[in-house]
Amino acid sequence: MLNNLKNIAVVSLTTVGSRLLGLLRDILIFAALGTSLWNSAFILAFTLPNLFRRLLGEGALTSAIIPVFSDVMERSGRTGAFRFFNQVLVRLICALLIIVVLGMVFLAWASGQSWLPERWVLGAELAVWLLPYMLFICLAAILSAGLNLVGRFAVAASTPILLNGAMIAALALGLWLDTDIQGVVYCLCGGVLVGGALQLLLPAVDLMRQGWRPKLELQSDTALAELWRLFLPGLMGAAILQINILVSRLLAYSLEDSAVSVLYLASRLMELPLGVFTIAVATVFFPLLAKALSAGDEAGFSAAFLQGMRLVIAISVPAGFGFLFLGEPILELLFVWGAFDQADVRATLPLLAIYGLGLPFYSAATFATRGLHASKDMRTPVRVAGLCLVVNLVAGLILMQIFGAAGLAAANVIAAIVQSACLWRALARGRDALGLAGLGRPILKILLASFVMGLACWLAALWLSGLAGPGGWDIGSKLSSAFVVLVCVPGGVAVYAGLLVLLRFEELAAMLTLGRKLIGTKKLQ
């Protein structure tokens, strides 16, 4: 277990740096662009390459390649596994080039249609520039999967730092050149492309150090046939999930100029703990789950899955409580700069609270999906995703008429609840050890500790706000928010961790021990 926790710590600490830099990126972008149409159009255009990244990169293809790669490595060693890896890369590059070229042609045509509303023309124009990013990030995701399977986690987890750094530099260049808002957005597009190229270069170099050499492998074999058998249904499932995201943003784009921006901002803050910890747990445990099943060790699979799920729930529940009770000072501290003002805070706050309540379900669904993929069950996530697409679309169309963008956020959470319940039920079928009995007591401990933590944070925030004095949009308000956040967030973490230690929550206690060992370590991997 200690080795697993160390790998999680490596991925988590690396991802923390990446996510914090991404947070700084978003703060600067919203300060420069606010919740304007240009920002919403950029976010919508950036959604397209990210959609394909999750389809062909870190989503369906990665989930399919890891179990097969693991089997090939066990049978043929690292040399045979890398030969299989090259077979996949050749075919992926060809598919990506076709998609990018055809997509750019279509978007260029759409941007020239005068009958389309201005906001849709603008979104198409920016998407033409951003679509090539898809080629870089999809290939980078596959290379990162290869690194994970040979036990290299930190490099793969650190690649988003390069993208965030390139985008921040591009934004700074646009502001330094004193261009208008259009010039700043096009500088951002250039930063995305440069960052994508760097994201591809770093894992490629590290994988080559592990013995991989890129070669033109055109022949097919049984391992490749197995990959396609797993990939195609997985692709359908991932496509439906990404269509969910796209549908929500398209519906938001049709509401008003700022709706996409506030929906994106709330979801990005929710994804901070999801990306730092949940994805780290899934990244480390997924190869372990696949290897356990490859060796026919069902008991080992169930034990590893429950251990990972306990860790996922232990971080997502208190994080959700934190957004619910401290959302306003967090938004004020981080984002009230430049073009982003108190009106934008009030528009974003309800969405952040809704996403915070849904965070445990997003996390559970993410990890349960990996468990099914490790079992080579790619069809169940497809069926569940299809159901969730209908739930999200119907709920979104109804709730957006009443609550606007908050209704779309609520529809996303409802779909996540349905997804997590269905996936868990499917995974536990035929595996008695994966029943809820294995999580009942840990969940009760987590809920109790989270409730006490949330109540303590809420009371402390009220008291500290009173000490800091009343605040409008001025420096006093900014200092008040900083005072509340900098005291309540670490204080809440300490209260929560202390309660779980007192309640003898094994996983967190082990992580705290590991964290103390890692402090001051210069080389994590």
Q: Using H for helix, E for strand and C for coil, what is the string for 335-399? A: HCCCCCCHHHHHHHHHHHHHHHHHHHHHHHHHHHHHHHHHCCCCHHHHHHHHHHHHHHHHHHHHH
What's the CA gap between 443 and 455, in Å, rounded?
18
First to last CA, the chain: 17
Residue 421 tokens, joined: 């319940």
pLDDT tens-place string over residues 343-352: 899 999 999 9
For residue 86, tell me if it sits in a domain: yes
Q: How far is CA 485 from CA 331, 334, 378, 491, 499, in A?
A: 10, 10, 42, 9, 21
User: What SS3 string covers 428-462?
Assistant: HCCCHHHCCHHHHHHHHHHHHHHHHHHHHHHHHHH
pLDDT of residue 468: 54
Q: Would you give the distance in Å from CA 499 to the centre of its chain? A: 28
In this prediction, residue 165 carries a pLDDT of 93
In a domain, 162, yes or no: yes
Of 505 and 33, the one with more pLDDT: 33
**Torsion 128-27-154-6 (CA) sign:** negative
> Band of the pLDDT at 92, cuts 50, 70, 90?
confident
> What pLDDT was estimated at residue 508?
60
Neighbour tally for 326: CB within 10 Å: 24
Question: What's the mean pLDDT in 196-218?
Answer: 87
> What Cα–Cα distance (Å) separates residue 288 from each residue in 1, 195, 259, 301, 438?
11, 31, 41, 8, 19
Query: Is residue 524 one of the residues assigned to a domain?
Result: no
Residue 480 lies in a domain: yes
pTM over 0.75: yes
Among 73-77, 199-203, 351-355, which stretch is predicted with the lowest mean pLDDT? Answer: 73-77
Average pLDDT over residues 419-444: 80
What is the structure's pLDDT at 3?
55
Count H helices, E strands: the chain?
17, 0
Least reliable range by pLDDT among 37-41, 325-329, 332-336, 376-380: 376-380
Predicted pLDDT of residue 386: 84
Domain membership flag for residue 343: yes
- Read off the tokens for 245: 């995201």
3-state SS string for 102-117? HHHHHHHHHHCCCCCC
Q: Where are the alpha helices (DSSP H) in 131-180?
A: 133-149, 154-176
Tell me, yes or no, whether 525 lies in a domain. no
Residue type, 324: L
Instruction: Say how many domains are in the chain.
Output: 1
Instruction: Determine, yes or no, domain membership for 468.
Output: yes
Q: Which of 48, 45, 11, 42 is nearest to 25 (CA)?
A: 42
Out of 56-70, 125-139, 171-185, 424-438, pick the least confident. Answer: 56-70
Question: Residue 218 pLDDT more than 60?
Answer: yes
290: nearest Cα among 306, 302, 280, 301: 301
Residue range 224-252: average pLDDT?
A: 73
* Residue 232 clears pLDDT 80, i.e. is over it: no
- Residue 357 is part of which domain span? 2-518
Alpha-carbon Rg of the chain, whole angstroms? 23
Query: Which residue's structure tokens are 């890896």?
Result: 85
CA distance 304 to 295: 14
Are 196 and 178 a contacting pair, CB within 8 Å? no
Choose the most confident range, by mean pLDDT, from 212-216, 286-290, 460-464, 496-500.
Answer: 496-500
The predicted pLDDT at position 513 comes to 47
Count of other CB atoms within 10 angstroms of residue 387? 15
Q: Which residues contact 444 (CB under 8 A, 6 or more apart)?
A: none
Model confidence at 520: pLDDT above 60: no
Average pLDDT over the chain, rounded to whole?
82
Measure the CA–CA gap between 420 and 439, rounded to whole angstroms: 14
- Residue 523 counted as domain residue: no
Q: DSSP characters for 34-77? A: TT-HHHHHHHHHHHHHHHHIIIIITTHHHHHHHHHHHHHHHHHH
Read off the pLDDT band of 380 (50, 70, 90).
confident
**How many other CB atoms are found less than 10 A from the CB of residue 506?**
12
Separation of alpha carbons 507 and 514, rounded Å:
11
Q: What percent of the chain has pLDDT over 90?
A: 26
Share of the chain above pLDDT 70, in %: 85
Q: Is the pLDDT of residue 514 over 70?
A: no
Question: Are the beta carbons of 158 and 21 closer than 8 angstroms?
Answer: no
Q: For residue 216, give the amino acid letter.
A: L
Residue 187 is inside which H or E element, if any?
A: helix 181-209
Closest by CA position to 19, among listed 394, 272, 376? 272
CA distance 348 to 432: 42
